[in-house]
Amino acid sequence: MVTSVNAVRGAAGARPAEILAGLAALADAYSLSWNTALKLLQDSVEKLYLQQGRRVRCVFDPDAEPSLYGLEQRPGGEVRLNDLLQPRLAWLRHRIEEYLDSEAERAGWPLAVVEVLARHEDHLLLKVLESEQFADGETAILPYSHLAALDREQVLQVGANFYALLRPRPLAVVGKESWHTTQAPWLASRLDALFLKKLFYRMVPMDCRVDIAGGVGLIVIPTGADMGRCIGPKGEYAKTLRLQAGLKRIHFAREVPGRCSSPTHRVRFAISQISGHGRFRCVDGENGVVRVFVPPANAAEIIGADGVNLRFTHFLSGQQITVTSTGYKEDQVDKPLDVSERLAAVRS
């Protein structure tokens, strides 16, 4: 069994039509303009080749066949590549989320209390009740694809009030959902990581990093921060935050300390924070990828449902990771981290 957060899907090239079809689905799910999504795809493909030491410029030309291709720099000039390395959709989705989070931070997208005015086939029409920036009465749309994991029954009723992050409506999106024609200047979301970050900051004014995946939130606090302050008395802050964000659970972890300088040490620390599992071995692999060998019975624990734990481990450590049970040997397990390094994460 091998599960990886590597970026490449398969060793061989992929048909450009497959790549563009996957991109269109992601752009629609995240209400992203086609031009922005295409630029992120091109950057992602070029980075895949850079990891192999190759310089390839990804080109989109709707009048050419195929419309997506690469131009590789070689001693004799540029060589056209019609079959490109294909990014995994999960990795491309992560790139899109990183882009949206960075844009949100840069533009200061506001947190708001909203009320449901009307319910439609694929979206809710909202009215802004309270906001960090806007006057009351502004309208926004909340596509169902931007609902949190537990929102379906709690948020869909007319008159319901809840928190949402507001961002400017994209000028052009892929898809034919009816909300594209609804007249409202703002797009609301309960899935952006900045949404959870701003909710947490309202309770605990503390700098942190945040990720959301599979209906689970991850809040990474500074190494020396007081965990009790974050979760509140008897976990009340964490419970309230989970309910307000519509998440199945929220996981708190600490940043990797500076003394964990090697990639394998960073991954070991991250795994101890995210899954709490101690029986594994980390080995440096090619292209900066850390290989994690685990017992077959425990692989699912480190990977997590739908790969959530693996994604959070990557997010916390900043390392590319491959998890496998092939070649695991009990007598080669890494020495457990010192007690001073075993900083238990807290689940609400």
| β-strand partners of 84 | 14
| β-strand partners of 195 | none
Looking at residue 13, what is its pLDDT? 47
Looking at residue 6, what is its pLDDT? 41
pLDDT tens column, 2-51 = 333 344 444 344 567 777 887 888 887 777 778 888 888 888 888 778 76
Q: Please state the rounded mean pLDDT for residues 203-217.
A: 90
The SS3 of residue 282 is strand
Q: Between β-strands 186-189 and 77-81, what pairing exists: parallel, antiparallel or unpaired?
A: unpaired
- Lookup result for tokens 């899109």: 96
Looking at residue 300, what is its pLDDT? 83
d(CA 108, CA 31): 18
Looking at residue 220, what is its pLDDT? 93
- In the structure encoding, which two tokens stand for residue 8, read together? 């490449």
Q: Which residues of 100-121 are buried (b: 16+ CB within 10 A; e: fewer)?
A: bbeebeeeebbbbebebeeeee
Look at residue 85 and tell me whether its pLDDT is greater than 80.
Answer: no
189 close to 199: Cβ distance less than 8 angstroms:
no
The answer to which of 112-126, 259-273, 275-289, 321-335 has the lowest mean pLDDT is: 321-335
How crowded is the C-beta side of 312, counted as CA atoms within 13 Å?
Answer: 36
Return the closest-CA partner of residue 43 out of 102, 104, 3, 108: 102
Look at residue 341 and tell me whether its pLDDT is greater than 50.
Answer: no
Angle between the N-to-C axes of helices 193-203 and 236-245, in degrees from 0 to 180, rounded to the nearest 10: 140
What's the residue count for the chain? 348
Looking at residue 116, what is its pLDDT? 93
Return the closest-CA partner of residue 67 out of 42, 30, 49: 42
d(CA 218, CA 211): 5
| C-beta neighbour count of 261 within 10 angstroms | 9
d(CA 272, CA 275): 6
Does the predicted TM-score (pTM) go above 0.85?
A: no
The answer to which of 33-47, 84-98, 313-327 has the lowest mean pLDDT is: 84-98
d(CA 86, CA 20): 10
Q: Please state the rounded mean pLDDT for residues 313-328.
A: 81
d(CA 277, CA 271): 7
Specify the higher pLDDT residue, 245 or 280: 245
- Lookup result for tokens 């009340």: 236
